[in-house]
Structure 1
Amino acid sequence: MSRRTFLQVSASGVVTATVLGGSGLRAQATPYEKFTWISPRGSLEVLDDFPFWAGKKMGYFGDLNVDMQPGPSDGTATVKFVDVGQADMGFPSPGVFSFGLKNGMKLKSAFHMGARDTFSIAFRKGEGFNDLKKLEGKTVLLGSAAWQSIVDPMLGVQGVDITKVKYVEAGWPTWATALKAGQGDAALGWEGLRAEWIASGLDFEYWLGVQKSPLFANTFVVRAADTEDPDKKAFLEKYLRGWAMGLEFGYQNPRAAVEAVFEQFPTLASNLGPELGTTSILQQINVFRGDMDKRGGWGWHDIAAWQTFFDKIHELKQIDQPIKAEDVVTNEFIGPANDFDKAKVKADADGYTLSDPFKAVDVAAITAHMFDQAVPADR
């Protein structure tokens, strides 16, 4: 029995689903008929989700019935769909997660992917600066209006008066080309995307959050009730273990992880190529891994840092009521997710046979120049 579900968000924010194929309801063999993960960006043809595709290729998800959905490009869809049950896990930025909490969505962060701040401010070459207070009175371009909830905290912790910054929704995926064309002063970017933009002829300079921001990046959220259901909790532990193994595999052999994504998306492969693909994934591994010596494993939440974030966005009036971090983020899945044979994953990664084009990619050279696009220190 085949089934395709098209998820939509109306202008009023109402979520609907149209199901094509199949007939009637099926008995559930697992806690989830099909576990659906939804992207925050309206596309799956990116390298951001490499742990899933690498993990799937290596068999780390076993026989779990799982599905990846791109979702709409509306920046808040990733939490709306989870809230109403049309998806089971979303990947929002902390700001979009807080939007869901503010609007009464009973969500909980189960696996913190982005230990470091992935977000950046892109400028045309020669026009960037390191003091973000200079953005006051200027225009920042966004792909979605919902992304303001990402940028406001990032600027706020740098002392920027966010009421003096103008945001313009320039659309997905055209907000970067709008910056190049001179339609704004700066634009939101993120790690991994920097390399993809180069492939599209969009070579900017950046204030890099991964170097300068005390904040962090996107996280996996689920319905809070699912964390209290024993069967669903057991499923989530297995599912997140697949992601953790995929992250470990990519860390041990980033070029192999890129190949796994490229096999899934040939158009992405032809657009990026092995070198830029590897550049993109190395940027993201840096974000996802963070300082692992201070973390409890892949996906671990720094509860104190989350509390600082929630306190800051309350100060900025991004949320109306204070949020207690331990009520909405949990590390209960981190131990089980990281309970895998790391020696086996390393052996898998070391034993992977790269194609000739990927063998030619110099990972050390890319790593040495990973931050060359940063705004010069003297500006």
Structure 2
Amino acid sequence: MNKNFLSGSMGRRTFLQVSAAGVVSVSVLGASGARAEPYSKFTWISPRGTIEVIDDYAYHVAKKMGYFDDLGVEADFQPGPSDGTATVKFVDVGQADIGFPSPGVFSYALENGMKLKSAFHMGAFDTFSLAFRKGEGTNDLKTLEGKTILLGSAAWQSIVDPMLAVQGVDVSKVKYVEAGWPTWATALKAGQGDAALGWEGLRAEWIATGLDFEYWLGVQNSPLFANTFVVRAEDLEDPDKKAYLEKYLRGWAMGLEFAHLNPRAAVEIVFEQFPTVAGNLGPELGTTSILQQIAVFRGDMSKRAGWGDHNMEAWQTFFDQIHELGQITNPVKAEDVCTNELIPAANDFDKAKVQADADGYKLSDEFAAVDVENLKAHLYDQAVKG
């Protein structure tokens, strides 16, 4: 991989500036570094330039249903700049406390010496996909050699390279074009490339804007997986911070469980928070979007120790693959940079209460009319046939 493609290293004390028209303002930690509490303020940062999406539904559910009420310290929720690596950079320098990078961007952090650990693996299945114009899709990704894939951010090459490589593609023969956020999909529609990176949930959002593609779907075809929550490794060594992280992640786990039990309610909660998203999607496409994401976040729960559990064997396969690609220069042992130590506590919640909360949520008439089982039956209709 061309290392310059992911250029942008920074000093550990660098203050990340965002323009006046930017999307995030993250407060700097106290200059002395001293804190009266485990965290003076706990900040989650997204991997995108916006939080007005359905993707983070578990947070909004947890907030609405009171699953974060026992934290004691405010849990802030911020969009990151559209730079694809900001979600790890901000955590590394202490301007955020937990980030949500793709595995490829996490590997970028490790390659650049950031002392981060994956603490809660959100995406058990591969959320990523390749979008094609109708009639141009393929399930043989080797045919992409010599062709162009459009990306919203240059950093996304670290997502696509391993996804292609495990399918036998010679990634040195694939051209990438950074077509910009959020315009890379419209560039595909306009014929400016042969394929574009997509992901579950986004498929439904693109339909709402008239971008109806066909897809090679990672959730059906890839042995890899999706984004994860990363924290500073040193925070896991602090008993107070670790206890806070366990409580915080328990809120997320409860939100994930609630949405699994009542996906329509989870979408309605997001719509209350973001009216623009509600106006763009509506109940049916919104529910389609969340069902796509629930499949990724849940994975095969019969093989997981709970929400957020890491499959260390799969992670090792990923690290071995990207080392072979040259995406990282030194081998990585999965157990050194991924941990399941927070998972038992994160999943130690009252299942009956969450079930009662989900069952008792009063849906609006519009959402009550959505046929969830019918949507599930057609969830992958956009997949390339044959």
**Aligned with residue 61 of structure 1, among 68, 76, 79:** 68
Question: Aligned runs of 1:148-163 on 2, under 5 Å?
Answer: 148-163=157-172
Q: Does 1:250 align with 2:259?
A: yes
**Counterpart AA for 2:322:** I
Structure 1 equivalent of residue 320 of structure 2? 311
Structure 1 equivalent of residue 383 of structure 2? 374
**Counterpart AA for 1:37:** W
**Counterpart AA for 1:155:** L
**Counterpart AA for 1:317:** G
Q: 1:361 to 1:163 in 2, by over 3 A?
A: same
**Counterpart AA for 1:315:** E
How far the C-alpha of 1:41 sits from its partner, in A, is 1.1
**Counterpart AA for 1:235:** Y
Q: Does 1:50 align with 2:57?
A: yes
**Aligned with residue 231 of structure 2, among 222, 225, 229:** 222
1:11-65 deviation line (CA, Å, top 9, x unaligned): 6656525679999879845211110000001110111100000010000011431
Structure 2 equivalent of residue 282 of structure 1? 291
1:201-259 deviation line (CA, Å, top 9, x unaligned): 00000000000000000000000000110000000000000000000000000000001
Structure 2 equivalent of residue 39 of structure 1? 46
Q: 1:224 to 1:25 in 2, by over 3 A?
A: closer
How far the C-alpha of 1:74 sits from its partner, in A, is 0.5
- 8 Å CA contact 2:9, 2:112 repeated in 1: no
Q: Does 1:188 align with 2:187?
A: no
In 2, Cα distance between the equivalents of 1:193 and 1:63?
A: 32
Which residues of structure 2 form unaligned runs of 5+? 1-6, 18-24
TM-score normalised by L of structure 2 = 0.92
Secondary structure in structure 2 of the residue aligned to 1:33: coil
Q: 1:254 to 1:154 in 2, by over 3 A?
A: same
Question: Aligned runs of 1:293-312 on 2, under 5 Å?
Answer: 293-312=302-321
1:67-122 deviation line (CA, Å, top 9, x unaligned): 01101000000001100001000000000000000000000000000000000000
In 1, Cα distance between the equivalents of 2:27 and 2:384?
A: 52
Secondary structure in structure 2 of the residue aligned to 1:16: coil
Q: 1:24 to 1:351 in 2, by over 3 A?
A: same
Question: Aligned runs of 1:1-379 on 2, under 5 Å?
Answer: 13=10, 15-17=14-16, 28-64=35-71, 65-377=74-386
How far the C-alpha of 1:338 sits from its partner, in A, is 0.1
Q: 1:355 to 1:318 in 2, by over 3 A?
A: same
- 8 Å CA contact 2:26, 2:95 repeated in 1: no
- 8 Å CA contact 2:144, 2:174 repeated in 1: yes
How far the C-alpha of 1:302 sits from its partner, in A, is 0.3
In 2, Cα distance between the equivalents of 1:31 and 1:294?
A: 33
- 8 Å CA contact 2:249, 2:346 repeated in 1: yes
1:162-188 deviation line (CA, Å, top 9, x unaligned): 000000000000000000000000000
Percent identity of paired positions between Structure 1 and Structure 2: 78
In 2, Cα distance between the equivalents of 1:22 and 1:310?
A: 33
In 1, Cα distance between the equivalents of 2:357 and 2:27?
A: 38
Q: 1:63 to 1:29 in 2, by over 3 A?
A: farther
**Counterpart AA for 1:375:** V
**Counterpart AA for 1:39:** S
**Counterpart AA for 2:15:** T
Structure 2 equivalent of residue 4 of structure 1? none
In 1, Cα distance between the equivalents of 2:47 and 2:203?
A: 17
Structure 1 equivalent of residue 4 of structure 2? none
In 1, Cα distance between the equivalents of 2:352 and 2:85?
A: 39
Secondary structure in structure 2 of the residue aligned to 1:278: helix
Q: 1:356 to 1:314 in 2, by over 3 A?
A: same
Q: How many residues align?
A: 368
**Counterpart AA for 1:144:** S
In 2, Cα distance between the equivalents of 1:167 and 1:25?
A: 41
How far the C-alpha of 1:372 sits from its partner, in A, is 0.1
Structure 1 equivalent of residue 22 of structure 2? none
Q: 1:23 to 1:285 in 2, by over 3 A?
A: closer
Which residues of structure 1 form unaligned runs of 5+? 1-9
Q: 1:71 to 1:22 in 2, by over 3 A?
A: closer
1:137-167 deviation line (CA, Å, top 9, x unaligned): 0000000000000000000000000000000
**Counterpart AA for 1:50:** Y
**Counterpart AA for 2:197:** L
In 1, Cα distance between the equivalents of 2:29 and 2:331?
A: 45
